[in-house]
Amino acid sequence: MVRARIIGTGQHLPEKVLTNLDLEKMMDTTDEWIRQRTGIKQRYVAANGQGASDLGGPAAARAIEAAGIDPKEIDLIICCTTTPDYLFPASACLIQHQVGATKAAAYDVNAACSGFVCGLTTANAYIQAGIYKTIVIVGTEVVTSRLNWKKRDTAVLFGDGAGAVVVRAENGDHGILSTFLGADGGSGDLLILPGGGSRNVVTKENVDTGVHDISMKGPELFKKAVVVFGEAVQQALTATGLAINDIDVFIPHQANTRIIYAAADRIGLPQEKVFLNIDRVANTTAASIPIAIDDAVTQGRIRSGSIVLLAAFGAGITWGSIMLRW
């Protein structure tokens, strides 16, 4: 059977690190509050003028190098981001140019923090259908470009960064075993950036009223996240016929350690199987899972044959899961 197998991973983080102690000097917050409520200790922050492709391009280049392929073999680049360089052209096109993937199609996907799972699901479908053989999926975000540093409820949560994977069609047992996506558009107000799109255009009045700031109903989102994480995991188990004990590594979207552990408890997954890097990189939205995959590979937590479960939730609200055999 043909499967989409991840054959290379990479990441790229900005140089500047902002710790919780740095944030204490910028707003009314404490390192203790942030660590206890979220698990975050620090985050990376892009330089002024640095766009999503400036992080995503180098992450993709590392994944391509790790895969040992020629960029001209790439059929498609999917860039998952909520903070593209421009409204258009797509950041995927900028990345295509940077990495020299001259034969690749390229487009962006926006499903907030579930973006990477959506992108990888799409890549899997192309490969299963025999349309493409080699696809690069990039998750890249400059979320701090959208933060209001005066709003402590959201400013402390996010960070910038990029991760990427190369998937290739392969015969055999290794690769993606199941995919599942869900959405509830009726809960869109739980996490929303109202400004900058076609509804609330950029005007001085709109900027003054704060519509360009992220608005989040944190506690409500928290409760939804625990439930939909559980559903996403259950769907993956049902689709593959695997049991919870078969999972070697669980790589969740890194939104909040408490959400992740609550979801793990709900599904009966031991905490030692959960991979976390939120302490180092914070919530990097669509980049969070590919950065975590690359960290898990580098740290030897994922090896050939490992059963790996990816699960995400994000604004929309959207959620999903992917089970794979490494």
What residues act catalytically?
113, 253, 283
**42 belongs to the binding site for ligand ACO (CB under 6 A):** no
Q: Which residue is nearest to ligand ACO (CB)?
A: 218
* Spatial separation of the C-alpha atoms in residues 16 and 24, rounded to whole Å: 17
Strand order in the sheet with 2-12: 2-12, 161-171, 134-141, 76-80, 105-109
Least CB distance to ligand ACO at residue 253 (A): 6
By CB under 6 A, which span of 163-171, 195-203, 253-261, 302-310 interacts with ligand ACO?
Answer: 253-261
**112 belongs to the binding site for ligand ACO (CB under 6 A):** yes
Of 145, 155, 133, 250, nearest to 195 by C-alpha is: 145
Least CB distance to ligand ACO at residue 313 (A): 6
By CB under 6 A, which span of 69-77, 97-105, 197-205, 221-229 interacts with ligand ACO?
Answer: 221-229
Contact with ligand ACO (CB under 6 A) among 93, 255, 264, 308: 255
H-run or E-run covering 265: helix 257-267
**Distance, first Cα to last Cα, the chain:** 15
Contact with ligand ACO (CB under 6 A) among 221, 292, 309, 323: 221
By CB under 6 A, which span of 33-41, 99-107, 261-269, 290-298 interacts with ligand ACO?
Answer: 33-41
Of 107, 127, 229, 122, nearest to 169 by C-alpha is: 127
For residues 57 and 314, which CB has a smaller minimum distance to ligand ACO in the complex?
Answer: 314
Residue 175 amino acid letter: G
Contact with ligand ACO (CB under 6 A) among 178, 256, 257, 318: 256
**29 belongs to the binding site for ligand ACO (CB under 6 A):** yes
**285 belongs to the binding site for ligand ACO (CB under 6 A):** yes
For residues 255 and 322, which CB has a smaller minimum distance to ligand ACO in the complex?
Answer: 255
Contact with ligand ACO (CB under 6 A) among 219, 241, 272, 300: 219
Least CB distance to ligand ACO at residue 36 (A): 9
Half-sphere exposure of 84 (CA within 13 A, CB side): 21
Of 99, 95, 3, 96, nearest to 52 by C-alpha is: 95
Strand order in the sheet with 249-252: 175-183, 318-325, 307-314, 249-252
For residues 156 and 308, which CB has a smaller minimum distance to ligand ACO in the complex?
Answer: 156
**103 belongs to the binding site for ligand ACO (CB under 6 A):** no
Half-sphere exposure of 5 (CA within 13 A, CB side): 17
Strand (E) positions, 13-101? 16-19, 42-45, 76-80
Strand (E) positions, the chain? 2-12, 16-19, 42-45, 76-80, 105-109, 134-141, 161-171, 175-183, 191-192, 215-216, 249-252, 307-314, 318-325
Q: What is the DSSP secondary structure assignment for residue 309, as one 8-state letter?
A: E
Contact with ligand ACO (CB under 6 A) among 11, 20, 38, 53: 38
What residues line the site for ligand ACO (CB under 6 A)?
Answer: 29, 33, 37-38, 112-113, 152-153, 156, 191, 216, 218-219, 221-222, 225, 255-256, 259, 283, 285, 314-315
